[in-house]
Amino acid sequence: MSDVSPLFEPYTFRSGVQVRNRLVLAPMTTWSADPDDSVSLAELDYVARRTTGVGLGLTAVGYVTAGGKGFEGQFGAEHDGRLESLRSLAHAIKSGGAKAVLQLFHAGHQAPPELVNQDVTSASDVPPATRPGQPNDVQVRALTSEEVEAIVLDFGQATRRAIEAGFDGVEIHGANGYLIQQFVSGHSNRRTDDWGGSLERRLRFPLAILDEVKRVAAIHAQGPFLVGYRFSPEEPHEQGLTMHDTFGLIDALKGRELDYVHVSLMDYAGNPRRGGDQTRSRLEQIAQRLGTQTPLIGVGNVWTPEDAVRVLNLGAAFVALGRALLLDPEWVQKVEAGRSSELQSTLSRDDREALTLPQPLWRRLTEWMVKDRLTDAAD
């Protein structure tokens, strides 16, 4: 087996937050919030078990405003009445020694109409992409400039709640086709005001959010507090994001003194579709463009300790574990103890209780098992 010691080196972020190793619980959707959108006991048990070995625990994503809810069973971070719920989540992650990071988002045009009072909004009135053969009949409304500015402030207020709830940081979710990415993408952003047009203007929204989040953290955090940003490097559709756009985003992020950047990938070793060097992995090129001042979290199809070490070798400073921790909550402890041969990488129909999996997540997993395509449940 390869040398896994690099996975267990401690790290101190720019803000001063210290973590015990380079392993991260990826933000995985569980669809398991209580009916009032508070964090459920089942989710607390699930996340507590999976953060007893990692250095950093990223929550599933919480929405920052009522119009930004993205799916059934999602917990909210949109008003102060959520503080008790958020405190319980932060405590569950930190109880095993991990640092706790609250991931925040707005779903934009991916919000199901029935969850947002039939008012689906985005950068422009462009509907979400659908699978081949499915109708694209979601009615989308372009946000007004005043609404855009209000959402920027909503991210700041959700950050204040994260601080008051005891989190060690927040991650701004600018990936996976949600609202922030919809502003960055030339496909979904057709605006002609200051929030659209050139790449520089399309980047105004995520950068405004980051500036507001950092402003709020500077005022309210009593000690070191992490601010990270997650992004997807490419989109498959015409006028969608290319690696060229991503390099522009990275260059802009480098000037914001973030604690880390987190790339969303299905496969850490995958090469670009459009733009960049198509003979080298996206992860390697992103790490090179980012440089050494801001650490990168890599993710995607990481199953074995060898996979995790390869992610570091490609230039990432951290490795996020999604499906690996889903199927083996003690993955980190086993690898550190030299027991990699005991890692569990399959799922049987009798494993729900043994793996502390919430029932809604279990239903999704068993559906995927029937289709023989267990995939990342990452946000």
> Hey, which residues are catalytic here?
178
Max CA pair span of the chain: 57
Dihedral (CA of 36, 39, 43, 45) sign:
negative
**How many Å separate Cα 93 from the centre of its chain?**
16
Pick from 110, 116, 59, 117: which is nearest to 88 by CA?
A: 59
Buried b (16+ CB within 10 A) or exposed e, 124-154: bebebbeeeeeeeeeebebbeeeebeebbeb
The tokens for 347 are 């799922």
Antiparallel, parallel or unpaired: β 120-122 and 140-142: parallel
Residue matched to tokens 């098992």: 369
Whole-number Å distance between alpha carbons of 264 and 245: 15
